[in-house]
Structure 1
Amino acid sequence: MESVCFTGACPDMTREELTEMAEEKFEVKSSVTKDLDILVCADPNAGSSKLEKAKKNGTLIISYEEFQEILDEEEDEDFYSILQTRKILKYIREKYAMECVRIKPKKAESPLLMTASKFGGLPYWTAVEEYPKDKDGNMLTLLAQINFSDVPHLPDYPEKGLLQIFIIADLSAGRDMDDDGTTQNYWRVVWREDVDESLALSADALHEMGVQSAEEIMQKEHERRNSQMKSGKKLTLEHDFPLEKEYALTFEKGFSHPNQMLSEYSEMATSAAKEFGYPVYEDPQGSFSEDLDMNDYFCEDSKDGTLHQIGGYPFFTQRDGRSEDEEEVLLLQIDSEYNTDINISFGDDGIANFFITPEALRKRDFSKVRYYSDCY
């Protein structure tokens, strides 16, 4: 029998009444111990001694309202209970947490330095290099530029150097649906171990080469479509891009947690169920309690609504897009984001992932990157 302890006032009944109800399913304890399963509280931020001790012990902490749902729940042998589901999810979140670097974009008020970390904008480029083009000879456009001198260090990832990702400016966003995402036909990764700012071409020099930023391309595209509308012509699409502005980037180290789109999540859930002595279902994720809102758990990594990141667990909208044949880590993930100052969109609220094998990452061999994106 699992154990429970209460702290703070219950809004709907006396402590005695609640204890009497709880004793039908739980062992009720008066204090927080290391083996306590649940602490029920009025306010998880109250800072009481019981709460602080429970947090230190890793005890599951829930509200009185949530505990009432557990008491009212009817058992179903085909599903985990609310409590079992909560404990499995908590176990997975804590056991498999992985370090990552979160990326925060902010609309640039003026053109950024050529060597700056950015989404969009003009790239760092030198006069002695051939500019990236797709297999048909069309110039590619900068999607992202990461100066690793700005990025908190993750094991195996660079501590300096410039990573640049270019894609074709059309509806495909560089994805070639006829390959596995490793053939850089309509996108390109450029890696620079060393960067000399004095060699950077100016905006004017890049424009003379025919290089345009996403903002410049999309501004001309909007003007062209407006002209078609005014003249009564049929609207056509020549160019498209996931973003239309230049965004400055800041970085912060954090933790990434598993989500249900990962191919290994079922194995993680099974491991957790065995750890607690719960039933092992063929489809553990499909057996989670239907009375629990999974968004409370799987959206916690993106409280601000976005999952731009380096390292950690990738997120997908449709299926796990990683290679089934070899291990891959997340080099860069760019999410769709919409607010007053930011408009980034990969299709219908999609997400773009760039993967690399650990060995290639350690060798700084960015010719081995794989590009995958999907949307709703």
Structure 2
Amino acid sequence: MQIKCSDIQGLDCFPKQGMIQFWICADDCWGMCDKKGFRVIYYDAISDSTTTPQMSAFNDMEKEFFPLKGEYGVAFLPTIEDAPKNSTEYEETFCKYFNEISGEAIKSPYDLKFKLNLPFDVLDEAVYNDNSAHGHKVGGSSDFCQYDPRETIEQQKRYDFQLLQMCSDFRSDSAKIMWGDAGICHFFINSEKLKNCDFRDVLYYCDCC
């Protein structure tokens, strides 16, 4: 994946020029098992001249594992979205207002299961349904098949900006992008480091159903 930075509008911390490239290894864990299995590279300027890079073709096994099944262009459209209902931000806000109104002290919306004796499927429908975070995007809220890898407050501050979310895409007859079993790929970075075009510390994570 590569992004021409001038195509991204409305994100103050995002570079205004140059190009960002995302690279992963074509292995069975998409480069996550090795610290050298992925790279994010920033070029502060795009040259008009062209060179022929040294490249080798994928072997059959690499083709099988690699999540992208072709080459695709992208167009970025600015949008506003709510925090997804499975996010830490949403859960904290929900619990804050519920506790203020009810006088309870729940720490998770799922605590309502024990307070109100509601079945989990009812809670899923009432509290977690209608998640708006899905889709390919730069910035915005994140969607996860399993869990957010930024489990601590320190990690959430360290990687507070979603540099890229790429979902599995199988809306046509054949899968164009498939991360395992309909999974999602993420790259996270600190927003201040992004503003300074410092890409030395990036968190890469993929999960699937």
1:148 and 1:344 map into 2 onto residues whose CA distance is 23
What is the count of residue pairs matched by the alignment? 196
SS in structure 2 at match of 1:321 = coil
Normalising by the residue count of structure 1, what TM-score does the alignment of the two structures yield? 0.47
Gaps of 5+ in 2: none
Aligned residue in 1 for 2:138: 310
**Could you say which structure has the higher strand fraction?**
1
Preserved contact between residue 148 and residue 160 of structure 1 (Cα < 8 Å): yes
In the alignment, which of 40, 55, 73 is matched to residue 210 of structure 1? 55
1:296 and 1:270 map into 2 onto residues whose CA distance is 13
Aligned residue in 2 for 1:172: 29
1:373 and 1:156 map into 2 onto residues whose CA distance is 24
In the alignment, which of 66, 70, 76 is matched to residue 241 of structure 1? 66
Aligned residue in 1 for 2:80: 255
Aligned residue in 2 for 1:353: 186
In the alignment, which of 330, 337, 341 is matched to residue 162 of structure 2? 330
**What pairs up with 1:227-306 in 2 under 5 angstroms?**
237-239=61-63, 240-277=65-102, 279-287=104-112, 290=119, 291=122, 293=125, 297-302=129-134
- Residues 272-294 of structure 1 deviation map (CA, whole Å, 9 limit, x = unaligned): 21454464434323427653625
- Residues 314-364 of structure 1 deviation map (CA, whole Å, 9 limit, x = unaligned): 111111112623412111111111022752111111111101112211211
Preserved contact between residue 269 and residue 284 of structure 1 (Cα < 8 Å): yes
**What pairs up with 1:112-127 in 2 under 5 angstroms?**
none
Preserved contact between residue 266 and residue 285 of structure 1 (Cα < 8 Å): no
SS in structure 2 at match of 1:359 = helix
SS in structure 2 at match of 1:354 = strand
Gaps of 5+ in 1: 1-143, 222-236
**What pairs up with 1:61-140 in 2 under 5 angstroms?**
none
Preserved contact between residue 261 and residue 317 of structure 1 (Cα < 8 Å): no
Normalising by the residue count of structure 2, what TM-score does the alignment of the two structures yield? 0.81
- Compared with structure 1, are the counterparts of its residues 337 and 238 closer, same or farther at alpha carbon in structure 2 (3 Å cutoff)? closer
1:295 and 1:196 map into 2 onto residues whose CA distance is 49
Query: One-letter code of the match for 2:13?
Result: D
Per the TM alignment, residue 243 of structure 1 is displaced from its structure 2 partner at its CA by: 0.8
Query: One-letter code of the match for 1:338?
Result: F
2:84 and 2:13 map into 1 onto residues whose CA distance is 23
SS in structure 2 at match of 1:365 = coil
Query: One-letter code of the match for 1:255?
Result: I
Query: One-letter code of the match for 2:187?
Result: F
2:16 and 2:126 map into 1 onto residues whose CA distance is 36
**What pairs up with 1:11-50 in 2 under 5 angstroms?**
none
- Compared with structure 1, are the counterparts of its residues 246 and 362 closer, same or farther at alpha carbon in structure 2 (3 Å cutoff)? same
Work out the percentage of aligned pairs sharing the same amino acid. 29
1:175 and 1:294 map into 2 onto residues whose CA distance is 35
- Compared with structure 1, are the counterparts of its residues 253 and 242 closer, same or farther at alpha carbon in structure 2 (3 Å cutoff)? same
1:296 and 1:269 map into 2 onto residues whose CA distance is 11
Q: Which is greater in Rg?
A: 1
